[in-house]
């Protein structure tokens, strides 16, 4: 019976050569490539999250929209977990009850977030005239 002795302690020169070539082929930018973070985005910076404005008026609106979207996504995940809990409950009335309570709590939380964003826009944008909330 052959016993596994662990990983090899050496790497061949060919492996180093393949790794080096793959680095330059896939990861290194050519010398003529110039990355412009503001390309295609007027008044902001392109990021993985989209165009983020760098003035206060645009940034507050973008931040508010991003946070509301994250809260909605979390609420959706909680609703899916509650639905799975209800469906897999079967004859267990306690688990079905917990799933229904979780689903109701997720909907109430989503409604709370929607109304708080609306109230913030009314108070901050309509009454106090803070830039970015209108």
pLDDT by residue (tens digit) across 16-49?
666 665 655 555 555 555 566 667 777 788 777 7
Residue 109 lies in a domain: yes
Instruction: Give the phi and the psi of residue 15 in degrees, each rounded to 5.
Output: -65, -45
Distance CA 83, CA 89 (A): 10
Residue 132 lies in a domain: no
Write out the residue range of the structural domain in which residue 87 sits.
37-127
Residue 1 lies in a domain: no
Distance CA 17, CA 12 (A): 9
User: Average pLDDT over the chain, rounded to whole?
Assistant: 79
- The pTM of the full predicted model, rounded to 2 decimals, is 0.62
More confident residue, 91 or 78: 78
Q: Which pLDDT score is estimated for 17?
A: 60
| Number of structural domains found in the chain | 1
The pLDDT > 70 percentage for the chain reads 69
| Beta strand residue intervals within the chain, DSSP E | 44-47, 50-53
At CA 101, angle to CA 113 and CA 80, rounded to 5?
70
Q: Which pLDDT score is estimated for 55?
A: 84
């Amino acid at each position: 019976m052959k016993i596994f002795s662990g990983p090899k302690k050496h790497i061949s020169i060919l492996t180093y050569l393949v790794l080096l070539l793959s680095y330059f082929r896939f990861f290194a930018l050519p010398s003529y490539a110039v990355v412009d973070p503001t390309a295609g985005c007027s008044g902001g910076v392109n990021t993985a999250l989209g165009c983020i404005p760098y003035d206060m008026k645009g940034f507050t609106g973008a931040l508010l929209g991003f946070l509301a979207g994250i809260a909605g996504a979390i609420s959706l995940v909680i609703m899916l977990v509650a639905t799975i809990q209800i469906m897999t409950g079967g004859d267990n009335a306690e688990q079905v009850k917990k799933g229904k309570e979780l689903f109701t709590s997720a909907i109430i939380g989503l409604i709370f977030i929607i109304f708080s964003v609306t109230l913030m826009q009314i108070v901050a944008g309509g009454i106090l005239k803070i830039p970015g909330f209108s």
